[in-house]
Each structure stands twice: as structure tokens, then as C-alpha cells.
Chain A
Amino acid sequence: MSQTTKGPRPYLNPYLGGTLLGIVLFLSFYVTGGGLGASAAISRVQTGLLDLVAPAHVDRVAYFASQAGGDRSAWLHYSIYMAVGTLLGGFVSGLFNRRVKLEVRRGPRVSVAARLLLALLGGAIMGYGARLARGCTSGQALSGGATLSVGSWAFAFAVFAGGYAVAYFFRKLWT
């Protein structure tokens, strides 16, 4: 494809993109025995940072202690390596397709400030839910879905159900 414009290249056909994703997911299972994920890394970065400022608190709260209690390190964990890879892979792909650009993507009727605030809020809700569900969309729905875990399928449908249930009330954000 000859590209003369400097704009971002179009995204890949979703079915092709999904196939790529499926192959990566399969290879992950084939090589490591486990699937893909992102929220564990977020959790570990958070615990790791908390461990820097309040190590005693980390040791006292069971959930944090399981990741970084005592002389355990929150950082030396496969999920962190994978997250660094995800950042790199996304960046390289974005660079190649001319999509690396400091910007804010938002719905047509939303101000930048509101979008950023809502991203922060949505992220917090998402982070909380992801830990409660023991995994995010990638770690549960994608990885558990591919290995036919009953809980992961229930989870995946719950995410869509939750989204559709409230989508109407937030329509001004996106349409």
C-alpha cells in the first residue's frame, strides 16, 4: 500500500486483529502455561509504589503483603515483564502506523478536562472490579475464555451486561 499522506494508517480489520491476538494468546499458553493479562501488573506497580512510601502498611494489609510483604518484591513478577512488553509492543506498533501522538481521545460533546476526569474515575472503578473478579478483560475474559473456564465466561458476559445496562445514561459522553 503506498502511503503519501502523513496521517495515521487505518486500523487492521478486526477479525484479522483478533486472529493475531488469538495466536499471541495461544503462544502464551503454549510457552508459559498461562495466558495474557494486565491488571495484575497494575496491582503490583501500585503495591510496589506503596511499599516505597509505607512498607509497614504493606506488611500489615494481607492483600498487599501477599505481593510485597517482608522482603518480597512486587516488581520481579512475570506480569510486570509482560506489561513492559505490552507498552513496548503498543508503542512500536503505534510508531510504525504513525499513531504515537500526545492527544486526548474523547466523545464529540465532552471537554478534555471532563474526559480526563472520567478516565480517572472509570479507571478506579475498573481497577476495583478487576481485582474483585480476579482479573481484567484480558486475564479473565480472554485467557479464561480461551481455556473454557466457566467463571471467566460468566465474567465476560457480566462485563458486557454491566456496560449495556448503564450505556444509556452515559450516552452524552460518547455520542
Chain B
Amino acid sequence: MAPFELPQSGTVAYALVFLVIGMGFGAALEVSGFGDTRKLAAQFYLTEMTVLKVMFTGIVVAAVLIFASSAFGLLDLSRVYVNETYLWPGIVGGLIMGVGFVIGGFCPGTSVVAASTLKLDGIFFLVGAGVGVWAFGETVGGFQPFFLSSSMGRFMVPELFGLSAGMTVVLLVAMALLMFWGAELSEAYFGRKEEWARMRKLPRDPRKLAAAGALLGLAALTALKGDPTPDATWHRMPLAVRQLVDDRAVFVHPAEVVALRQDLNLKVEVLDVRDERDFNLFHLGGSKRLTAAEASSPDLLRRLLAQPATTVTFLVGNGEKEALEAWKRLKAQGVGNLYVIEGGLNRWLELYRVAECVAQPAPGKPVGEDGMAWNFAYAVGERMPASWPELPVSHRFRSPCEPLHADGGAGHHGFTWPTYEYPKKVKLQRAVAVKGGCG
């Protein structure tokens, strides 16, 4: 998305933006002849390949522009809507639409344009499409499992083939150019009935060759530049997002984390960015370790992006630095409801202590930095009440050594953590408001 924000939904300016884009869309279809059903239907009899040429030129030009501007930092791809993949419903729907195309001679977009130039068949098609979508709404309840099947979320061709986005675009342009060449041959042979032996088979028009070269060149440049790294993307995030770090709005007080973990309406996930040794010594209850490899894997990103809006994810390190780096990386890729635990586990252990014989402050290690500021006698993992301060049982526990608060006998103690004051910082956000073309 552009480095500026769209006007607020519901305002006149918002409606105008879409109106103007729609006008460009309608005009582009109309000047290409998509209001004429004969031109469209001819595609399926190989006599005129206008549909294929216009559609794939449109796709390829847009794809090159999108991925080039992403590579060169003009566009944040994570905020661009990518149609979610529901493989089989899409394929079956596509087959049905192919049949409808041949019978009706339009697709929905082109029928709108045909109707706008008063083609009666376009208007009838639109009315028919209205009936079709109504019938779908009435019947989809009967095959909901199929409609929701083979859902793969935001799944892009580069991921499928394990290529960079730039490289995929190069191959896409090459494929489109080959298809155009085939289309020209098909038009000459089936459309103009030229003899195969006498046909001029190689494209010679210098303008077409120049345009093809320019497109391929820009795609190649995109591939050479490479996909933007999360680091580069972070530096291009809107100022308001980067301001969150400076304002410390992303750092959440441990007591707020504890309070959120008690909230049954929320799912609180803690991702621990420390190494295995520190993780084994002590970690928060139910937290998962996030290795460097996992942090940059598409699987994690996909999982985080697919989480419902009631999930809050915290990143935690010993201090704040490492966790903040991970936060920036994930934030740059569009993960919402993501925070860092203030002061990391070093500070956590100050507020929610473990017994003195288990861990003591390490002399000379400042709490605020990465690196464990506590010396553990042995690894406790998440077996200490300090890992679960939100649980009532953590308030009554048997100390492994001397009681923390010497108030008499050993054994189970009535014990409460102090109540800490904290500024509330977690604000639940709905998933980023990216929307689809046909939603």
C-alpha cells in the first residue's frame, strides 16, 4: 500500500477513491472492446484472442509494477490483499464460469461495461448474474464444508515453487509473452485463415518487441534487486508505527501480561526469543521458544497472520533488545496484536520472584540488557509459580528451600504476589483492514 492512508471508510472521499478507480477500470475494459460479446466469445473459437491478450497483459503489467515497487520500497506488500486460496471451490467455480462465459458471452465485469454502453444483452446478463448470486446465497448452506474446503490462506506462487517473488515475475512475463505469440499465430491461422506454410511466424513489430523487452527488463531488475528484507520493510513502515517503539507503546508491563493471561476471552501467546539454555533455566508458563530459523520462516508468519483478533502475542527475551528486533521483523510483515514484555524476563523475575535458593541476582549483570541477570542453581523451566502468576495455585506453594516470606512453618503458604500498578497498553486490533476485489 502507498505510504499514505486511505480516507476513513464511510466518508465521501473513501467512496470517491473507489469510484475513480472503477471509472478507470470501466474505461480500460471498454476501449479494449470488452463491451462487445462477440469479441469475448471469439476467444473460445480461437479466431480472436482479445480476451487472453488484454487479461494477461493487464495481469503481467500490474504484477511487474506491484513487485517492482515492492522491491524498490514504494509499496508494502504485506498490506496488499492477496486473494486467499480455496483451491477446489475456486477450480469448480472457475469451470462453472467457463461454461457460463460461453453461454452468456460475458463475465461479470465485462457485462457491467456492456450495460454501460446500452448493450441489451449485457443488461440481461447482469440480471441473470443477480439471479445466480441469489441462488448461491440460498444454497451455499447445503455444501458449506466444500465451500470452506482446501483453504490455504494467503498462498503465493513464489512460495509454491520456492522462488523469489522477482524471479517468479520474470517467469510469469516470459510465459505471457509465449502465450501472446501463440495467440498471434492462432489469430492468423484460425481467424484470418492464412496458410500455415506462408504465415509469418516470428513477431517482427519493433514496438511490440520493445514493449516486451521493457517489461522483461523491469521484471529482471526486480529479481536482481531481490525481495525486500524485513529490516528494509521496517524502515519504510509509516512513521506512526515506528513511533510506537519510541513511545514505548509496544512494551507491556509484566502485570498487564498476567492480567491478560487471566482473561478467558483472550488467547495469550508468549514467544521466547532466547537460546535453549536460558529457556530451560526459566520461562513463562506455556511459552514457546522462537528460534532464529523459525522467526524468519513463512510458516510462523502464516500462523500468526491467521490468528483470530482475540489473540495477543508477546515476545520476550532476557532484556528487551532481542525481542524488539523480532517484534520489528514480524510487525513489518503485518502481524497484529503483537507486543514485547517490558524489561524481559530479567525484570519479570524481579517482580515475580523465584525462591532465593533457586535463583539469585547475578552480580554485575544489568537487568535491562539481554543476557541472563539471574543465576539459577538448576533449571526450573516453567515449574516455578513465577511462571504462572495468574493461577490461584501460584499463590500457595511449597518453597523448595527456605520460605520466601519467613512467616513460620514450611509447607503451603498463604502467599500473594504484590499488586503492581501499570499503564494499560494492549489495544486489541482487528486484522489489518485489507480487503479483496470481489469480497
Contacts and interface: CB of A to CB of B under 8 A. Distances in A.
A99 B30 contact: yes
A50 B116 CA distance: 23
Nearest to B19: A85
A90 B138 contact: no
B132 interface: yes
B134 A126 contact: no
Given A33-B6, A163-B102, A167-B45, A119 B30 contact: no
Given A85-B20, A91-B117, A128 B136 contact: yes
A127 B97 CA distance: 8
Interface residues of A, number: 125
B438 A135 contact: yes
Contacts of B208: 15
B21 A31 contact: yes
Contacts of B90: 133-134, 140, 151-152, 154-155, 158
B337 interface: no
Nearest to B68: A26
Given A31-B2, A78-B18, A151-B85, A173 B41 contact: yes
A88 B169 CA distance: 33
A24 B57 CA distance: 12
Interface string A131-142: 111111111111
Contact-residue bracket for chain B = 35 or more
Given A18-B58, A139-B436, A94 B30 contact: yes
A86 B130 CA distance: 17
A115 to B, nearest CB: 6
B95 interface: yes
A155 to B, nearest CB: 4
Given A78-B18, A132-B96, A149 B82 contact: yes
A118 B103 contact: yes
Contacts of A81: 14-16, 18-19, 22
B376 to A, nearest CB: 47
B170 to A, nearest CB: 12
A90 to B, nearest CB: 3
Interface string B56-76: 111111110111010000010
A90 B26 contact: yes
Interface string B298-322: 0000000000000000000000000
Interface in A123-170: 123-167, 170
A41 B111 CA distance: 12
A21 B58 contact: yes
A154 B87 contact: yes
Name the residue in B33, B109, B138 with the highest tally of chain A Cβ atoms < 10 Å from its Cβ: B109
B140 interface: yes
Given A79-B438, A116-B120, A134 B131 contact: no
A56 interface: no
Contact of A147 (B50, B66, B107, B118): B66
Contacts of A101: 117-118
A146 B159 CA distance: 15
Contacts of A26: 61-62, 65-66, 69
Contacts of B10: 76
A128 B350 CA distance: 61
A112 B43 CA distance: 21
Contacts of A100: 117-118
B21 to A, nearest CB: 5
Contacts of A163: 43-44, 98-99, 101-102
By Cβ-Cβ distance, the 10 closest A-B pairs, closest first, are: A122-B104, A162-B98, A85-B22, A127-B132, A139-B438, A123-B128, A18-B57, A133-B93, A22-B61, A158-B94
Interface of B: 1-2, 6, 9-10, 14-33, 35-39, 41-45, 47, 49-50, 52-63, 65-67, 69, 75, 79-87, 89-122, 124-138, 140-141, 147, 152, 154-160, 165, 168-169, 172, 180, 208, 211, 434-439
Given A32-B435, A92-B26, A120-B124, 20 more contacts: A11-B50, A18-B61, A23-B65, A26-B69, A46-B137, A85-B26, A88-B22, A90-B113, A104-B119, A105-B121, A123-B124, A133-B93, A136-B97, A137-B108, A146-B58, A146-B66, A148-B67, A158-B97, A166-B98, A173-B103
14 contacts: A14-B33, A15-B180, A25-B58, A29-B81, A39-B129, A105-B105, A119-B125, A122-B128, A135-B439, A136-B438, A144-B437, A151-B90, A162-B101, A164-B98
